[in-house]
Structure 1
Amino acid sequence: MPPGSEGENAPLMSATDRIGALPDHMLHHLLSFLPAQAAVRTCVLARRWRHLWKYTTGLRIVGLGDEGPVHVHDLQKFVDHLLILRERTDLNTVEIKLDNFLEEDQPYVNLWTRFAMNCKVRALTLHIRDNQYLYIDNLPLVSRHLRTLDLHGVALQKSFLDFASCPELEDMRMDTCLISVNKISSRSLKHLSITGCRSDLDCRIHVSTPGLVSLELDASDGLTPFLENMALLETAFVYLDDDCEDVCLNYVSGVFCGANNDTCKNCVPIGTNCSSNCVLLGGISSAKHLKLISETGKFIFSRDLKHCPTFTKLKTLLLNDYWCEAPDMDPLSCILKNSPVLEKLTLELFPKGQTPKVQMKGSYCCMQRPSAISEHLKIVEVKCDVVNKRIAKVLKFLCAFSAFDIRFSFE
């Protein structure tokens, strides 16, 4: 039984000391929510608290002190002593969040990360916030216990993102990371979020996660990742912003020159190393709920539609004005024709990040609907700032294509 445990020299607590009256295992858990420096300082509260910090179920190494950000060099001595003195109990969570980070600090943080893995950590968070990347050791993660991995400002190399030795990993988030690998692979992963990341490779990153349930790809810099089949996918959000390098140099009014046009060096085939003609849509074609957003001039979605898969399970679909840019609105028409069980369509025809001023909802105006659309489609929503000629053209297309009568309702 660890020092300070129930029944061993535990002092009588006053009626008002409700926290001190809690059993040790609960205090171990509560101390896990404090930064490590604050958790250790509780040892001066009373005799019973002298060793409680050694048994916390979580460890938070935070580079923020009472007077502002703390350099890793100033944290090093404290953390080294902490890791030596704490008991070798398992850790549920480890958070390492640093504001002032230098290149010479990397060995320390890598060491602290490996310590967490040795303590069978279940949820690991690494956040670097000083416009400096933490370069993780190019060694594979090996853990039968790791379930959640949350990375921010981390440079990821090949071996680290091969999760063959992490059979329980289910949730991974990568934000503002540098990805220097050509493949992200995990059979156990269920939730994957890649936001604001950058790749320094001249090839597409392959994402092989057959068990994925939810996916978020948001505003990454570089070539669009190639998604392998995700048969269990429930929801997916994909946003291709201006930093996406897949851009047609000959783009005009929603029309892309195409993969066989020699005048555009960017509109080229995906490559012989891809097992599908689609970059994105093939991998997410099993999803039930999709949000597909793209900035003007990006051709990946339009290119994928030339080999458009059938979205056999798709119930709800949200698209932005990119899908309505082409003169004949072929992209919108194509994806609707290939969504046989679609129930709800939402078009957001306003700038990203703004709030629409007008919302229109559709209802049937005839008994007979075109055979080209889903017989399950019940709701069509159009959100915009103002009803101009462009919006009127979209409404006319929807009425003709889906037999919907669009009626106005203002917010």
Structure 2
Amino acid sequence: MIRSTKRRKVSEIRDEGSLDRISSLPDELLGHILSFLPTLSALQTSLLSTRWRYLFTLTTSLSFDDQEYYELSSHGNKTLNTGFERFVSGVLVLHRVTPIQKFSLKLKRDREYASSHLLLWISASILKGVRHLDLYIFYQQISLPNCILSSQTLVSLEIHSVRHKVDLKVPSLVSLPSLRFLKLIQVTFLDAESVKRFCVGCSRLKELVLIDCGLGRDHVGISTLALEELTVYFCRGHVEFDAPNLASLSYLCSWSDVDVDMTLLLKKSCSPSRVEIGFHSYEFHGPLAEYVLDLIRGAQNARELILTFNALKLLTRLDDTRIPTYSKLKSLHLDSCCCNTWKYVTSWLTKSPQLETIVFNEGIADTCRTEHKHEWRPSMELAPFSSNVKTIEVHRFEGGKMELLLLNYLLENAGVLKRLILYKCGTMTMEEELEVSKELLMLPKTSTYCTIELK
């Protein structure tokens, strides 16, 4: 009797384990689960059983990738283009959920698609009340439909163009009241006024990312009250931002020998707490240095300042006494620090009374170019400084003579320094590391609390 009961319980457990509990879930929940998959993978679940045949039409996100389609579909190369177009259009016709959370269209293959299809797909996503729209277009050259710029539901918009820049024709009225995040890569505005109209229509935009974009040739002033984060990399245009709530600015620019094809300035109302500024230029004189100084002045209230590429080198063309005081600066990051730029480093140390951390991302004696490099003595030629710096980080440390001299200068003047962190370069051998460690221990330190770490 006892054995029979045990067998029955074991049999019941086995039967329960063989039940398809997932299929018994409500349709809406299954559609939500499938939303985490690419649409092609969600579509493939229709082959499981009649129960799953149309569940893919209930997803809250649609993601189309022609490269993935090529890899996973059974179509041959000759019918790939037509097959992908039919696949996307078919899913959009059958799809039943409105609104949708995300629509992603990635055209990565080196193939042309009919412009009518692209405009139809994008317009369909807008009609479905999409909140997050992500377009990645390789090779194809299209003009985006105007309905994108009048969407009442869009929260984030990303347009990434490769090879061909997307021409953004901005209508007279732009209305994107829900847009919070905008990222444009290789998108060209017809003129500066188009940029202004576009930004005016994004009244609640909090984060703006522009990479390799054309912003027109004329100077334009943009007022955006809600903007908190601004990233501008390698664009062309002349823009002045009035953004009183701006908290973070990242600006990288590349100039030719003659033309300054990109300038970005901040109104006095802007006081970002984090500022990253970098330049790549083939000449370091004339108006370029003055422009860099103007931009640096706009960051006087920054708590974190990052100077990359040749920003520091451009400033060496100016009198170091013109560097403003940074009363709130806590962290300073410097790249391409060489012998000729060290007096400017000292200026920051003396003009930043709240500075606690300084980071040398590319070393402290990298690419030293001076006729008297071998005779240069930092402790004798650089002015002494007094600061509240507590941490100094040096990356790409090689343990050379010039580096040790500069470390000696820093340790002699940094009276409250607590940590000197040296990140060794990858080519340093074990024997070299031991020798450098001995020399580091012999360096005099004004701060009795300072520790030196070689990592």
Q: Structure 2 length normalisation: TM-score?
A: 0.62
Matched, 1:110 2:110: no
Matched, 1:291 2:327: no
* Contact map agreement 2:191 2:217 (CA 8 A) in 1: no
Matched, 1:168 2:174: no
Summarize the Cα distance change of 1:99–1:309 in structure 2 as closer, same or farther, 3 Å threshold. Answer: same
Matched, 1:141 2:156: no
**Deviation for aligned residue 1:94:** 0.6
C-alpha distance in structure 1 between counterparts of 2:106 and 2:169, whole Å: 23
Aligned to 2:104: 95
Matched, 1:213 2:222: no
Select the residue among 354, 361, 385 that pairs with 1:348: 361
C-alpha distance in structure 2 between counterparts of 1:15 and 1:134, whole Å: 52
Aligned AA for 1:34? L
SS at match of 2:45: helix
**Deviation for aligned residue 1:115:** 1.7
Aligned to 1:329: 343
Aligned to 2:8: none
C-alpha distance in structure 1 between counterparts of 2:319 and 2:174, whole Å: 30
Q: For 1:117-143, what per-residue CA distance to the aligned partner results, in whole angstroms no more than 9, with x for missing partners?
A: 22221111111244x555434666122
SS at match of 1:121: coil
Aligned to 1:3: none
Structure having the larger proportion of residues in helix = 2
Matched, 1:190 2:201: no
Q: For 1:375-396, what per-residue CA distance to the aligned partner results, in whole angstroms no more than 9, with x for missing partners?
A: 4x32222223313355356546
Aligned to 1:47: 50
SS at match of 2:123: helix
Summarize the Cα distance change of 1:297–1:370 in structure 2 as closer, same or farther, 3 Å threshold. Answer: closer
Summarize the Cα distance change of 1:151–1:386 in structure 2 as closer, same or farther, 3 Å threshold. Answer: same
* Contact map agreement 2:126 2:147 (CA 8 A) in 1: no
* Contact map agreement 2:167 2:187 (CA 8 A) in 1: yes
Task: Report which of the two structures shows the higher radius of gyration computed on alpha carbons.
Answer: 2
Aligned to 2:38: 35
Summarize the Cα distance change of 1:402–1:241 in structure 2 as closer, same or farther, 3 Å threshold. Answer: farther
**Deviation for aligned residue 1:57:** 0.5
Which runs of structure 2 are paired with 1:235-250 in the superposition (5 Å)? 235-240=248-253, 246=260
Alignment: residue pair count: 356
Q: For 1:241-292, what per-residue CA distance to the aligned partner results, in whole angstroms no more than 9, with x for missing partners?
A: 68897589884xxxx3232xxxxxxx4976xxxxx9834762x555443433
Aligned AA for 1:258? G
**Deviation for aligned residue 1:201:** 4.8
Matched, 1:278 2:294: yes
C-alpha distance in structure 2 between counterparts of 1:301 and 1:60, whole Å: 50
In structure 1, the gaps of 5 or more residues are: 1-12, 260-266, 271-275, 352-368
Summarize the Cα distance change of 1:304–1:199 in structure 2 as closer, same or farther, 3 Å threshold. Answer: farther
Matched, 1:386 2:430: no
Aligned to 2:286: 258
C-alpha distance in structure 2 between counterparts of 1:286 and 1:123, whole Å: 34
Choose 294-303 or 341-350, whichever is displaced more. 294-303
* Contact map agreement 1:234 1:288 (CA 8 A) in 2: no
Larger RCO, structures 1/2 (Cα 8 Å, 6+ apart): 1
SS at match of 2:340: coil
Summarize the Cα distance change of 1:305–1:88 in structure 2 as closer, same or farther, 3 Å threshold. Answer: farther
Q: Structure 1 length normalisation: TM-score?
A: 0.68
In structure 2, the gaps of 5 or more residues are: 1-15, 261-278, 365-383, 418-444
Select the residue among 331, 335, 338 that pairs with 1:316: 331
Summarize the Cα distance change of 1:386–1:97 in structure 2 as closer, same or farther, 3 Å threshold. Answer: same
* Contact map agreement 2:226 2:245 (CA 8 A) in 1: yes
Q: For 1:178-202, what per-residue CA distance to the aligned partner results, in whole angstroms no more than 9, with x for missing partners?
A: 565533624423233344x243855
Summarize the Cα distance change of 1:382–1:94 in structure 2 as closer, same or farther, 3 Å threshold. Answer: same
Aligned to 2:170: 159
Summarize the Cα distance change of 1:169–1:105 in structure 2 as closer, same or farther, 3 Å threshold. Answer: same
Q: What fraction of aligned residue pairs are identical, expressed as a percent?
A: 24
**Deviation for aligned residue 1:16:** 4.3
Select the residue among 65, 74, 86 that pairs with 2:83: 74
* Contact map agreement 2:316 2:340 (CA 8 A) in 1: no
Summarize the Cα distance change of 1:27–1:165 in structure 2 as closer, same or farther, 3 Å threshold. Answer: same
Select the residue among 19, 25, 48 that pairs with 2:22: 19
Summarize the Cα distance change of 1:232–1:95 in structure 2 as closer, same or farther, 3 Å threshold. Answer: same
Summarize the Cα distance change of 1:302–1:170 in structure 2 as closer, same or farther, 3 Å threshold. Answer: farther
Summarize the Cα distance change of 1:248–1:342 in structure 2 as closer, same or farther, 3 Å threshold. Answer: closer
Aligned to 1:355: none
Select the residue among 109, 116, 123 that pairs with 2:132: 123
Alignment RMSD: 4.5
Summarize the Cα distance change of 1:221–1:40 in structure 2 as closer, same or farther, 3 Å threshold. Answer: same
Q: For 1:8-39, what per-residue CA distance to the aligned partner results, in whole angstroms no more than 9, with x for missing partners?
A: xxxxx984424323322221112223333333
